[in-house]
């Protein structure tokens, strides 16, 4: 069985490989491709794999741009932190949609679905049948599919952090976090009193673990909690100054992120 993994995050790729080993499906580590362009080159120069695990946002763009340029004929299990691509995934070859962070039980369920479909559609040797016209899903079916998938695959977000301190582990509730900041390679959660707590993982990884309705991206190095925002004011060059409740702290949006931050503020 040949498997290809499209994933730009090393930790997520390692987890997928570990889960595949746990399922007994690997004799050797499968290739991991981190960008759309490299994925296109791989698919053009290798036989089609039996199964593809695909993140959606890769290093150089959205993976659906790849599927528009190259016809992938194998089943795809999508592994992503974003639920807005559900319909696009199932319009193509998607057979499962795993929302990060997912556990082995969810991963195993997706594999079982693949195995079931593979055995169900394995036809005995016979004369090839004429290719049937490709059916298009009606808007009503797509709407019902989206609702069912959202009901059964609701993402779960972090409620607390376990922070390693000098005298042991400190449990920091997410509600206490005013903002999250990446500083010189370390990511910190900062509470309303300005106390900084070192966290594991990158800012992007933590962003995917936090409820996007509660935490918004300010710039490349900071996320802010809407519960701790007191006031937002215009700043230089079209940016925004975000003042926090009960604090003298003011955070600044980047020019590139300001439009998205405005949309997030409006809910």
Please name the residue that has the structure tokens 């390693």. 164
Give the residue, 156 or 42, on which the prediction is more confident: 42
pLDDT band at 253 (very low <50, low <70, confident <90, very high): very high
Question: Mind listing the pLDDT tens digit for each residue in 11-27?
Answer: 999 999 999 999 998 87
Name which of 125-134, 178-187, 208-217, 255-264 the model is least confident about.
125-134
pTM exceeding 0.75 = no
CATH number for the segment(s) 3-123+135-152: 3.40.50.2300
Does the pLDDT value for residue 177 go beyond 60? yes
pLDDT band at 254 (very low <50, low <70, confident <90, very high): very high
C-alpha 95/C-alpha 93 separation (Å) is: 6
The answer to whether the CB of 92 falls within 8 A of the CB of 85 is no
The answer to whether the CB of 102 falls within 8 A of the CB of 80 is no
Q: Report how far Cα 22 is from the mean position of its chain's Cα atoms.
A: 22
% of the chain beyond a pLDDT of 70: 87
The domain locations on the chain are 3-123+135-152, 160-265
Backbone angles phi, psi at 121, to 5 degrees: -100, 5
Which residues have a Cβ under 8 Å from the Cβ of 46 and sit 6 or more positions away? none
Give me the chain's average pLDDT, please: 85
Question: Mind listing the pLDDT tens digit for each residue in 47-105?
Answer: 999 999 999 989 888 899 999 899 999 999 999 887 777 777 887 788 999 988 889 99
Which residues have a Cβ under 8 Å from the Cβ of 179 and sit 6 or more positions away? 190, 218, 222, 223, 224, 225, 228, 244, 249, 251
CATH number for the segment(s) 160-265: 2.40.50.1020
């Amino acid at each position: 069985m040949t498997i290809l993994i499209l994933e730009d995050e090393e930790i997520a790729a390692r987890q997928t490989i570990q889960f595949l080993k746990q399922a007994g499906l690997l004799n050797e580590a499968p290739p991991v491709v981190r960008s759309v362009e490299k994925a296109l080159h791989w698919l053009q120069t290798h036989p089609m794999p039996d199964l593809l695990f695909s993140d959606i946002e890769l290093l150089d763009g959205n993976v659906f741009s790849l599927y528009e340029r190259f016809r992938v004929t194998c089943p795809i299990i999508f592994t992503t932190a974003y639920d807005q691509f559900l319909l696009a995934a199932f319009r193509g070859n998607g057979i499962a949609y795993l929302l990060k962070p997912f556990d082995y039980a969810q991963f195993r369920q997706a594999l079982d679905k693949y195995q079931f479909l593979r055995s169900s559609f394995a036809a005995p040797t016979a004369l090839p049948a004429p290719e049937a016209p490709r059916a298009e899903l009606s808007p009503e079916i797509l709407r019902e599919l989206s609702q069912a998938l959202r009901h059964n695959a609701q993402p779960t977000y972090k409620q607390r952090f376990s922070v390693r301190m000098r005298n042991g582990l400190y449990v920091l509730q997410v509600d206490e976090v005013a903002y999250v900041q990446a500083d010189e390679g370390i990511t910190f959660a900062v509470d309303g009193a300005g106390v900084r707590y070192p966290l594991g993982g990158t800012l992007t990884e933590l962003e995917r673990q936090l409820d996007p309705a509660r935490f918004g991206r300010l710039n490349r190095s900071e996320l802010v909690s809407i519960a701790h925002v007191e006031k937002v004011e215009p700043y230089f060059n079209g940016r925004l100054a975000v003042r926090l409740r009960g604090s003298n702290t003011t955070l600044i949006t980047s020019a590139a992120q300001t439009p998205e931050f405005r949309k997030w503020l409006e809910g």
